[in-house]
Chain A
Amino acid sequence: MTHSTVDHVAVAALSAEDLVVEVGGRRILDGVNLTIPAGAFTAVLGPNGVGKSTLIRASLGLQRCSSGRLSVLGRAPREARSEVGYLPQRHGFDATTRLRGVDLVRLGLDGDRFGAPLPFATRFSAAARARVDQVEAAIAEVGASAYATRPIGELSGGEQQRLLIAQALVRRPRLLLLDEPLDSLDLPNQVAVAELLAKLSQSQEVAVVLVAHDVNPLLAHLDRVVYLAHGAAMAGPPAEVITSESLTRLYGTPVEVLRAAGGRLVVVGQPDAPGAHGGHQH
């Protein structure tokens, strides 16, 4: 299910040229070159600590680029903000969070605007009704209508994740950045959320860029993968990038890609970045 029809004339969703990003004096991204076409479904892969989250943060304008160029939808990251949806890495809302899913999605629409919605505004304002409809539409698209009015803390991880995707999607962004959206989910939910994102990428014409640990739940849907290593990156169609030859070249050490039963890929021998320990994110 690849989008071979992606319009190459359209402005790239994300493009980096010789991008260098330093965090606390350490070079995390060091000369990254990559292009993610508009509307593409892309996974950012690589071992812990190679700068996957840093790439996302830089794309949001939360992390300064030391040198090189990073453009988001053809603009500087900060200027593209209104057209970018973002789902940070998280560990779920706990049971005492007393807010409904629908409130959470609504924050994606106008949570950055000052003031408060007037009570009963939908009775006399068409614009207010349109906003409510927009929220409901986003919730319906992720299939969360049945539980959107329940307190978010009482929902399962998969249900919470769908609502958060609706939150990121509600403003109709052209680029969706997701940091490990599958991380805290069980396998059936990983597959379901991957399918949902692939479907949204097509129906909403939004480029989806997600950071992932494991490529397998995504493999059937991906247009492109970005592999990060030692600050550098390699991008392209999964079949070209996830091979023993290209990963060995990228890491400069023997890496083997094995194809297990059912088409699952197993990458053996990729080194963790120096100084990176489990769970440490940049």
Chain B
Amino acid sequence: MTPHLQLNLLVDLRVLLSFPFMVSAAEAGTVVAVLAGVLGWWVVLRRQSFLAHTLATVSFPGAAFAVLLGVAAAWGALVATVIAALVLASLPVALVGKGPGTSGAAIGTVQALALALGLAATTWYHGYAESATALLFGSFLGITSTEVVLLALIAAGAVLAITLIARPLLLTSVDPVVAAARAVPVRALSTIFVVLLGVAVAEVSQITGALLVFALLVMPAASAQALTASPARGLLLSVVLGIGIMWTSLFAGFYAPGIPIGFWVTSIGFALYLSTQLFAARRSLAAR
């Protein structure tokens, strides 16, 4: 495959979409961008970025052991992140806690263990180097259309679930004490959220790799929140920015083979994050 850039967007896109594996990659990429955009908005609001990154890291040993056992990597990642989500959510609030000043020691410990286990599994597996790189830094090759359907179903379920709990989860995230006084099940909602987050990062890691889930999960959401404080607009913008990053990355990845897609997602996301932060800082200075 040696696609050449014609510098004509329509022609280039037509060439790209003439490859079935690229169509599947674009579909899968869009699905995970939507899922990451929605969940990421909540992660940024709840300040659980570190927790999200740790869950993403756990997808690495999950996928690696699945490959070792001859099961699809996606299932291994999903099972591992959901188990890790349940474990982390069951820790005392102080350990998982949100906001500055709370200890991330327990979360960091899980993250280190996950990396070590993933390393062990990929070492035992003979194709060490390639499989580790793909699992850690992502790949958009080899996604089948059946897998896309499965991804879409799981993502739809997760987005539906978070929509159903949106209002009480928002109250819980902003003001847990008032939520408890209003008989909102704070603990249960927080657990449900962390499990949904586990599902989401397992999905996203299929494209971006375990270590770069953060890019698609947090960068569009943080950029969106820098631009608007309205929940509805913020969620929508987060999804739109995520899709934009994904499509641009797939395009770049297709015409510049050899560079993992995780690199494109992360650097485009970073550029977006930086520019929105600068914009927000300028605006708040001007408002004073």
* Interface set of A (CB-CB < 8 Å, partner B): 60-62, 78, 81, 86-88, 90, 94, 97-100, 103-104, 107-108, 110-117, 119, 150-152, 154, 167
How many cross-chain pairs have Cβ atoms below 8 Å apart between A and B? 83
Partner of A100 from the list B171, B180, B229 (CB cut-off 8 Å) is: B229
A98-B45, A98-B225 are contacts. A107–B171 as well, Cβ < 8 Å?
yes
- Residue of B163, B165, B177 most packed against chain A (CB within 10 A): B177
A115-B166, A116-B166 are contacts. A107–B174 as well, Cβ < 8 Å?
yes
A98-B45, A104-B174 are contacts. A112–B284 as well, Cβ < 8 Å?
no
A38 to chain B, nearest CB (A): 21
Query: Is B7 interfacial (CB-CB < 8 Å)?
Result: no
Query: Is B129 interfacial (CB-CB < 8 Å)?
Result: no
Docked complex Cα distance between A97 and B165 (Å): 20
The answer on a CB contact under 8 Å between B225 and A111 is no
A81-B183, A99-B45, A103-B231 are contacts. A113–B167 as well, Cβ < 8 Å?
yes
Please, which residues of chain A bring their CB within 8 A of the CB of B166?
115-116
Which residues 213-268 of B sit at the A interface, judged by CB distance below 8 A?
225-226, 228-232, 234
CB-nearest residue of chain B to A171: B182
Query: Is B168 interfacial (CB-CB < 8 Å)?
Result: yes
Please, which residues of chain B bring their CB within 8 A of the CB of A151?
229
Docked complex Cα distance between A90 and B174 (Å): 12
CB-nearest residue of chain A to B176: A88
A107-B171, A111-B168, A114-B165 are contacts. A98–B229 as well, Cβ < 8 Å?
yes
B185 to chain A, nearest CB (A): 10
Query: Is B179 interfacial (CB-CB < 8 Å)?
Result: yes
Docked complex Cα distance between A203 and B249 (Å): 59
Main DSSP-derived SS at the B contact region:
helix
* Interface set of B (CB-CB < 8 Å, partner A): 44-45, 99-100, 163-168, 170-171, 174-175, 177-184, 225-226, 228-232, 234, 284, 287
The answer on a CB contact under 8 Å between A62 and B230 is no
Docked complex Cα distance between A111 and B284 (Å): 29
A98-B45, A116-B163 are contacts. A111–B229 as well, Cβ < 8 Å?
no
- Residue of A88, A99, A103, A110 most packed against chain B (CB within 10 A): A99
Partner of B167 from the list A99, A114, A119 (CB cut-off 8 Å) is: A114
The answer on a CB contact under 8 Å between A111 and B171 is yes
Partner of A99 from the list B165, B184, B231, B284 (CB cut-off 8 Å) is: B231
A62-B181, A100-B230 are contacts. A112–B45 as well, Cβ < 8 Å?
no
Partner of A86 from the list B165, B181, B228 (CB cut-off 8 Å) is: B181
The answer on a CB contact under 8 Å between B184 and A111 is yes
The answer on a CB contact under 8 Å between B174 and A99 is yes
B65 to chain A, nearest CB (A): 37
Please, which residues of chain A bring their CB within 8 A of the CB of B44?
98
Please, which residues of chain A bring their CB within 8 A of the CB of B168?
111-114
Docked complex Cα distance between A176 and B166 (Å): 26
Partner of A107 from the list B170, B183, B229 (CB cut-off 8 Å) is: B170
Docked complex Cα distance between A99 and B165 (Å): 18
The answer on a CB contact under 8 Å between B229 and A112 is no
Docked complex Cα distance between A103 and B184 (Å): 18
A99-B229, A103-B230 are contacts. A60–B181 as well, Cβ < 8 Å?
yes
Top 8 nearest A-B pairs (CB, nearest first) are A111-B171, A116-B166, A151-B229, A88-B177, A98-B225, A112-B182, A60-B181, A98-B229
> Can you add 14 more A-B contacts, CB < 8 Å, to A98-B45, A114-B165?
A81-B181, A81-B182, A81-B183, A86-B182, A99-B45, A99-B229, A107-B174, A111-B170, A111-B171, A112-B167, A112-B179, A112-B182, A115-B164, A116-B166
Instruction: Enumerate 5 A-B pairs (CB-CB under 8 Å) in ascending A order.
Output: A81-B181, A81-B182, A112-B167, A116-B164, A151-B229
- Residue of B165, B166, B168 most packed against chain A (CB within 10 A): B168
CB-nearest residue of chain A to B44: A98
CB-nearest residue of chain A to B184: A112
The answer on a CB contact under 8 Å between A107 and B167 is yes
A111-B171, A114-B165 are contacts. A86–B234 as well, Cβ < 8 Å?
no
Please, which residues of chain B bring their CB within 8 A of the CB of A114?
164-165, 167-168
CB-nearest residue of chain A to B180: A62
- Residue of A78, A81, A115 most packed against chain B (CB within 10 A): A115
CB-nearest residue of chain A to B189: A114
The answer on a CB contact under 8 Å between B164 and A111 is no
Docked complex Cα distance between A88 and B100 (Å): 20
A62-B181, A107-B171 are contacts. A115–B163 as well, Cβ < 8 Å?
yes
Docked complex Cα distance between A167 and B174 (Å): 12
A134 to chain B, nearest CB (A): 15
The answer on a CB contact under 8 Å between B234 and A98 is yes
The answer on a CB contact under 8 Å between B231 and A88 is no
Docked complex Cα distance between A119 and B167 (Å): 14
Please, which residues of chain B bring their CB within 8 A of the CB of A107?
167, 170-171, 174-175, 178
Docked complex Cα distance between A98 and B237 (Å): 14
Docked complex Cα distance between A100 and B231 (Å): 9
- Residue of A103, A104, A111, A117 most packed against chain B (CB within 10 A): A111
- Residue of B100, B226, B229 most packed against chain A (CB within 10 A): B229
The answer on a CB contact under 8 Å between A111 and B232 is no
